[in-house]
Structure 1
Amino acid sequence: MTMTRTPLTQAAATLKARFREIGYTTSGINNVLGPDFVAAMHAGQPAAVRFHLDSLPESDLNLALRAFVLRDQVRVEKLAALLGEALKTLVDASLVEISGEYAQFLIDIRPHLIAGRQQWVFSDADASMTQHVPGPDHVLGVGAASLSLLQATPTSPTGSVLDLGTGSGIQVLGQAGAAQEIIATDVHPRALDFAEATLVDSGIPTQLVEGSWFEPVRGRTFDRIIANPPFVVGPPEIGHVYRDSGMDLDGATALVVKEACAHLNPGGTAHLLGAWVHSADQSWQQRVAEWLPDNGYVAWVIERDAVSPAQYVGTWLSDESLDLRSPEAAARTTAWLNHFEKAKVQGVGFGFIAIQRLEEDEADEKSDILAESMTQYFEDPLGPEIEEYFTRTAWLREQTRDSILSSRFKVRPGVAREQISLADAEEGMGFSPVTLRLTRTDGPRWSHDVDEHVASIVAGLNPHGLPFEEILEMYAMAQGIEGESLHNGAIAALVDLIRHGLVLPADLLDS
């Protein structure tokens, strides 16, 4: 018999089988609640969900929603009928509290559809449905950050995967069917207990290892590394294990970037969430670039948002369910902002860091690091875009000025040409053109301001047509422009468009 960390794991296997029977699944909840009350559930509006459930007939699924989602007190005999022997296991493990004739769950068990599979995530109870202040050893369930990392991580087939700081095991679920081997680590034993419960009967063989940072895998390298580390930027203290590293400012993100590079196989990639300081002394791009090796790597650092010190501190104190008007919150706000002021922190940015280690024969190549803001709205998963970015940059690394001129290209399907005009204030009527843009309507929806020359040249690209150089020569002749000067500007513009996937080299197109 396979040894398990806690009785919760054995109960979890029984619970999952029962959940399938009663429809406590993503689709089952959507069907019984409907879109309006599903939205209320995700918005943390328990009274609205309870109002809807009160209007429905009693059922096993109705009871499950009250017990597991709302964490209402429910009658013991009803819960025992629903869960059988698993209830006693959970009570004995202090995960369900009995008070007279009623029982209440002290943990969260939520169904999620991840990587096309129905899964259930076990974690500590959050504060979305009940008044609750998370403790220092709190283990998160599925939140906005973990979902964003799921979307930003490739799911293509690979060999070995390391999930660093696995928490309740969410990122492992995203690699279902993708990896031959998965190792998930965490410094927090309670997190591994929940991860084991999440992963039991998931169909994803995973080795769970306890230890700090990369210590449990010292000397090993991986094809894919995933990490959502405790990256909160602040004083070197640990108030909550899931978010505080004990390192000063952005030291945790710096450590994970450096160590991930050292633990990648050639050709391997790392996909990280992180945060970094904006300071008066250097740009955030330069700060993050310093964490990466000088040679042998490609990195794409994407800042999704940046906030002021006051906003940042308020957000994370609110995350603890603290009343920002309370004396405790006031004292901590002052101390945190004092620390930022002494360190000359002007803001905090956060987002994704994707890293690729180059193959052995490219190990001496200068590292290609692009750090940029991506504040635009988009819906498509970022993981496939990151993989394609590495493919596009690999093509660019192989090119010279002459090879680019001799190549053919294709405008990505869905790229829009936008002519932006504003009301003509001088004339008092009509509109005046202000900006010409090329914009992707898929993926991260990159938008590039271009001039009429670049827009016209791009319009002439055809993967089965003329080489780039001939297109430039024809355009220069038609416009009466000196060819050599056009070449230089057009190549620079083309490279930028390739990096963001608005233009694709014909060499990379599927046959």
Structure 2
Amino acid sequence: MTSSPAQLAAVAPTLVAAFKTHRFTLEGLMDLLGPAGMAAWRRGEPAAVRRLCRADEALPLLVRAFLLKDEVSFDSLAQLIGPEVAALILEDGSVAFDIIPHVVEGEDHWVFSDVDASMVQHVPGPDHVLGVGAASLSLLATVPLDPVDAVLDLGTGSGIQILGQLGVAKRVVGTDVHARALDFARATLAGNDHVELREGSWFEPVAGEKFDRIVANPPFVVGLPQIGHVYRDSGLSLDGASELVVSQLADHLKPGGTAHVLAAWVHTDADRWQSRVASWLPDTGVCAWIVQRDVVDPEMYVGTWLRDESIDPRSPEARERTEIWLDYFAEHGVTGIGFGYVAVQRLDDDVPSDILAEELSHDFSDPLRDEVSEYFLRCQWLREVTTPDILASQFLVRPSLASEKIAIPDQEQGMGFATELTRITRMDGPRWSHEVDEHLLRIVSGLHPAGLSLGEIIDLYAMANDVDVETFGPAAVGACIDLIRHGFIIPSELFQEN
């Protein structure tokens, strides 16, 4: 009989208790496998992991059963997790589901999902429910953790985003069009009584409701209007899924509430990607930060997603699918596909929308969640002040800020080095880097939260360096606004409040 996930929630507490007892946790796996073995697991190399789990002990057996999907004896597994649980999850001697340990916000959790192709040869079916992928983890790291009343997880899948909000939300609603996904989510979230799971398409299950925070990892794959795999295909043309979600966020946010979405969008020669994504948002009532993390050509995009469903790029099926997919892109003028985050804060309806779309393609390691929250605070401050207010304000130079001068051989002198450019770089968060001239660097150097105002520093600098303040002043203020928006300098009142 084919195993069903519908009964997993009932046995999840028993499984979790057994996993804790036998240290089937990330910490336990690290102790057993070591750094090299853990890396092999992450890379999907089962043989390297298996040779470290030959001992006839509880944890090695659990690794063989749950991570490697090796055949194990019913009696051996039943001794660890109980006969009723073993009977439910074993199929032809192997565990029929993925139940993978994760640490989310410092707590051990186990995410229930369908078996993926990382450790076994497996082709995901149309109703496949995804576990925890890189995209899910990247979104998890962007969502703030300040306490709120109500959270919506749109397209909850196996429940990973809800795990990140369990400790900070009084009430969580998770929705999904896929009933099988909700079965897995119930198992992942078993025992959390303040979580409600609802079946339905897009925002239909929460029609008329508003939330303090919305999290969404929708099926955003860009392609033809068809559904091959429910976890990634929306049935909408091109980037229609991202447009649908982003365009309706404001309708379901309370005043001051925020939304955090993974999204994809097409690049065309007809318009800029920034304008395309910004057009999905209303003209009034939102502050939005749109961050493009990556952009790929259509050929790479199609190849990546074919491999995602375990299709050999050299096969006849891949050749046919590739031609159809790329022809559809060509027909619609698609030159590239971008991917990234959309963060939206709900403002009053009569406030003009404040939308910034920019690229953040370099590497960084800090979670973006604190940056997202601070970004909205900085934008609020900028909306509420005038130019005279900015000039009268004092600022803190971010403690992590670094300046560097890039010098190249001086061609004019024929010897030595000449400064080519000067940069200031944040060494935290998104690690923004701005090129600045010597004038702006001196202005920033003079800032102190209890010192002179920005206007006073500009006036003194202009006087000391015989610079026309009427020309220099507005340019300096404009440059400082960009530095404020990216958190290089922080208004002293915001620093004092936090």
Do the structures match in fold with TM over 0.5? yes
1:494 to 475, 480, 490: 480
Partner of 2:122: 132
**Equivalent position amino acid for 1:509 in 2:** F
Distance, in Å, in 1 between the alignment partners of 2:156 and 2:416 is 58
Alpha-carbon contact 2:161-2:215 (below 8 Å) kept: yes
Residues 322-348 of structure 1: CA distance to partner in whole angstroms, max 9, x if unpaired? 100000000000000000000000000
Q: Specify whether residues 427 and 50 from structure 1 end up closer, same or farther in structure 2 by C-alpha distance, changes over 3 A only.
A: farther
Secondary structure at 1:140's aligned position in 2? coil
Q: 1:426 offset after TM fit, Å?
A: 6.4
Answer yes or no: is 1:190 the counterpart of 2:176.
no
Answer yes or no: is 1:322 the counterpart of 2:311.
yes
Partner of 2:9: 9
Distance, in Å, in 2 between the alignment partners of 1:419 and 1:436 is 4
Answer yes or no: is 1:156 the counterpart of 2:150.
no
Partner of 2:407: 421
Map 1:30-429; keep pairs closer than 5 Å. Answer: 30-54=30-54, 57-90=55-88, 95-98=89-92, 103-201=93-191, 203=192, 205-358=194-347, 360=348, 363-424=349-410, 429=415
Partner of 1:449: 435
Q: 1:96 offset after TM fit, Å?
A: 2.0
Q: 1:86 offset after TM fit, Å?
A: 3.4
Mean alpha-carbon deviation: is it higher for 413-422 or for 247-256? 413-422
Q: 1:429 offset after TM fit, Å?
A: 5.0
**Equivalent position amino acid for 2:250 in 1:** C
Partner of 2:454: 468
Matched residues, number: 494
Distance, in Å, in 2 between the alignment partners of 1:276 and 1:187 is 22
Residues 457-511 of structure 1: CA distance to partner in whole angstroms, max 9, x if unpaired? 0000000000111100110011100112111011111000011101100010136
Map 1:429-444; keep pairs closer than 5 Å. Answer: 429-444=415-430
Q: 1:241 offset after TM fit, Å?
A: 0.2
Residues 326-378 of structure 1: CA distance to partner in whole angstroms, max 9, x if unpaired? 000000000000000000000000000000011x3xx2121000000001111
Mean alpha-carbon deviation: is it higher for 424-433 or for 23-32? 424-433
Q: 1:13 offset after TM fit, Å?
A: 1.2
Distance, in Å, in 2 between the alignment partners of 1:69 and 1:392 is 45
Secondary structure at 1:110's aligned position in 2? strand
Distance, in Å, in 2 between the alignment partners of 1:179 and 1:72 is 39
Structure 2: gaps spanning 5 or more residues: none
**Equivalent position amino acid for 1:344 in 2:** G
Alpha-carbon contact 2:15-2:81 (below 8 Å) kept: yes
Distance, in Å, in 2 between the alignment partners of 1:8 and 1:176 is 20
Answer yes or no: is 1:477 the counterpart of 2:474.
no
Q: 1:205 offset after TM fit, Å?
A: 2.2
- TM-score (normalised: structure 2): 0.97
Distance, in Å, in 1 between the alignment partners of 2:253 and 2:388 is 33
- Cα-Cα RMSD: 1.4
Q: 1:204 offset after TM fit, Å?
A: 6.0
Distance, in Å, in 1 between the alignment partners of 2:244 and 2:250 is 10
Distance, in Å, in 1 between the alignment partners of 2:25 and 2:266 is 41
Partner of 2:492: 506
Secondary structure at 2:403's aligned position in 1? strand
Distance, in Å, in 2 between the alignment partners of 1:116 and 1:304 is 26
Secondary structure at 1:454's aligned position in 2? helix
Q: 1:8 offset after TM fit, Å?
A: 1.1
Distance, in Å, in 2 between the alignment partners of 1:204 and 1:473 is 60
Distance, in Å, in 1 between the alignment partners of 2:264 and 2:389 is 38
Residues 363-422 of structure 1: CA distance to partner in whole angstroms, max 9, x if unpaired? 212100000000111111111100000000000001101000000001101100011123
**Equivalent position amino acid for 2:160 in 1:** I
Distance, in Å, in 2 between the alignment partners of 1:313 and 1:431 is 47
Residues 256-278 of structure 1: CA distance to partner in whole angstroms, max 9, x if unpaired? 00111111111110000000010
Q: 1:188 offset after TM fit, Å?
A: 0.2
Alpha-carbon contact 1:7-1:89 (below 8 Å) kept: no
**Equivalent position amino acid for 2:470 in 1:** E
Residues 24-67 of structure 1: CA distance to partner in whole angstroms, max 9, x if unpaired? 1111111111111111111111111112223xx32100100000
Distance, in Å, in 1 between the alignment partners of 2:470 and 2:153 is 50
Secondary structure at 1:252's aligned position in 2? helix
Secondary structure at 2:136's aligned position in 1? helix
Alpha-carbon contact 1:309-1:348 (below 8 Å) kept: yes
**Equivalent position amino acid for 1:460 in 2:** G
Distance, in Å, in 2 between the alignment partners of 1:494 and 1:192 is 48
Distance, in Å, in 1 between the alignment partners of 2:262 and 2:442 is 39
Distance, in Å, in 2 between the alignment partners of 1:131 and 1:433 is 56
Q: Specify whether residues 129 and 507 from structure 1 end up closer, same or farther in structure 2 by C-alpha distance, changes over 3 A only.
A: same
Q: Specify whether residues 411 and 6 from structure 1 end up closer, same or farther in structure 2 by C-alpha distance, changes over 3 A only.
A: same
**Equivalent position amino acid for 2:255 in 1:** P
Distance, in Å, in 1 between the alignment partners of 2:261 and 2:141 is 12
Q: Specify whether residues 243 and 191 from structure 1 end up closer, same or farther in structure 2 by C-alpha distance, changes over 3 A only.
A: same
Alpha-carbon contact 1:152-1:383 (below 8 Å) kept: yes
Distance, in Å, in 2 between the alignment partners of 1:68 and 1:487 is 64
Alpha-carbon contact 1:79-1:87 (below 8 Å) kept: no
Alpha-carbon contact 1:15-1:86 (below 8 Å) kept: no
Q: 1:85 offset after TM fit, Å?
A: 2.7
Alpha-carbon contact 2:74-2:86 (below 8 Å) kept: no
Distance, in Å, in 1 between the alignment partners of 2:214 and 2:20 is 32
Distance, in Å, in 1 between the alignment partners of 2:101 and 2:415 is 57
Q: 1:125 offset after TM fit, Å?
A: 0.6
Secondary structure at 2:254's aligned position in 1? strand
Distance, in Å, in 2 between the alignment partners of 1:333 and 1:108 is 30
Secondary structure at 1:509's aligned position in 2? helix
Q: 1:427 offset after TM fit, Å?
A: 6.0
